[in-house]
Amino acid sequence: MEPTLTSILIKTAVTHTVSYVIVGMLAYKLFNYLRLFAETGLQHLMRNQLLVISKGIRQINRF
């Protein structure tokens, strides 16, 4: 049986989402983000909440 476009798109979306979450959790643990944000200049990058929220919305429009 040949895969349909819908099944390929669903599998791709699920695989991408799961791998993104797993890699994000590994990075969070390996790089110790709590310490990095507390002790370095990275805390200033997340200061503007509106800018952080808008980045997520802009990611959708990057196509």
* Domains of the chain: total: 1
pLDDT band at 1 (very low <50, low <70, confident <90, very high): confident
6-63 pLDDT, tens digit each: 999 999 999 999 999 999 899 989 988 788 777 777 666 666 667 666 766 666 665 5
Q: Domain range spanning residue 38? A: 5-60
Cβ(16)–Cβ(25) below 8 Å: no
pTM of the model: 0.58
